[in-house]
Structure 1
């Protein structure tokens, strides 16, 4: 569901609602790999592109519009959530691994019982970059060859498959990884998409340890 308001950006409306339910953790996303933890001082919006939850009463949020929202979760030996904003740069720099390493320093994790979800994002059908861009060159060096293809001056990327591979690399059972699969640009009437013109509006993915209202709005 995408909220639209004549007065507020969708993300502002969602945040106002969530603030009535608990303490909202909404990092200032910068396409990096820094992770915010619920036990940290969150009086101000810390820079980061991931949120670790290990305590009740907190609601972690990630905002996206073509980038991929990712959730890793587990309940053994205690409940935890890892929310990630895995856009192009975050995927190239493997925010999945960065978030996992931070998680392992934060709490005990049973990888065999861990699960993952990759939400909708811009698909391989639509996502291309100029071949002479420095980040494109970096991606071609760091990502496996089957996750990109070169076509003239453009390079097309399959970010969802790259993210799934990174999650599998953590040791999570492939059967415990769910991929939404829809392209946000192809389905921009259903999703907010930066490349279709949604420059300021964002969808909000949120989760909590309580898990009674996990949703993607």
Structure 2
């Protein structure tokens, strides 16, 4: 695994992963993952505090920052959902006409970004942790897009799987009902039963779900590392980060100052 599709930057002691957009979307959308650093430490995962500091870099545009509930609901990046409102959702859809920025927060769960120019430019930000992956928020979201956008071409889709907890670090008790349910969903390639525990490869299962939706293998990018193993780079709830969060921010390039 390498970091194709991502670019590391560091500004004022704040690490950031910028997603490298395909040529056809470079002048339409951008997305960045703010990892462990001074800004994220000081704001403790509070999107309002984060936006007080960052908004001037984006022409003081509003920010959609849903209250994440490990579900499959997707809302639009619209001022009608922007802060101080916190509607429940785990995904945000951005279009070329969107009037607000979009964000999600993570601490072991997986940031997923999906974008295309077919039939018109769109970009999805998704929160897919263990529960969201079992519920297949990726597949449900893409199914909805295909249904509402006749003529969509899956070969024009690009996807980025951001930093999350790895398969060696994420385990659940075998007898847990949620484990048993997950075993009916996850591919056998993406879990391992060992010593009364089941280890789940969330990132691997998300990649499988993307390919089940006909996203080409070569169009899926993954970032190296594990939020738990590499806790010096990322935030991990399982490693003790109770408040601070990885912050995924995306929007139209026209919103950048």
What is the TM-score when the length of structure 2 is the normalising length?
0.76
1:205 equivalent in structure 2: 248
Residue 76 to residue 212, structure 1, CA distance change in 2 (3 Å): farther
Assess if the C-alpha contact under 8 Å between 1:3 and 1:10 holds in 2: no
Higher strand share: 2
Contact 1:11–1:63 (CA<8 Å) still a contact in 2?
Answer: no
1:10 CA displacement: 4.5
RMSD (CA atoms): 2.1
- Distance change >3 Å, CA 143–CA 28, structure 1 → 2: same
- Corresponding residue for residue 9 of structure 1: 44
Q: How many residues align?
A: 213
Aligned counterparts, 1:49-64, within 5 A? 49-54=90-95, 55-64=97-106
Alignment of 1:53-92 (within 5 A): 53-54=94-95, 55-92=97-134
CA distance in 2 between partners of 1:34 and 1:211 (Å): 26
Instruction: Go from structure 1 to structure 2 and tell me whether the alpha carbon gap of 1:176 and 1:7 turns closer, same or farther (over 3 Å shift).
Output: closer
Q: Distance in 1 between matches of 2:80 and 2:98?
A: 16
| Aligned equivalent of 1:152 | 195
Q: 1:71 to 1:112 in 2, by over 3 A?
A: same
1:40 to 1:192, Cα distance in 2 relative to 1, 3 A: same
Residue 48 of structure 1, aligned match among 79, 82, 89: 89
Verify the 8 A CA contact 2:78 2:99 in the aligned structure 1. no
User: Which residue is equivalent to 1:101?
Assistant: 143
Give me the whole-angstrom Cα distance separating, in 1, the residues matched to 2:146 and 2:73.
15
Long gaps (5+) in structure 2:
1-14, 16-35
CA drift of 1:59 comes to 1.2
Give per-residue Cα distances to partners, 1:69-88, cap 9 Å, x unaligned. 00000123321111100000
TM-score calculated relative to the size of structure 1: 0.90
Indicate if the aligned counterparts of 1:79 and 1:209 stay in contact, CA closer than 8 A.
Answer: no
Partner of 1:27: 66
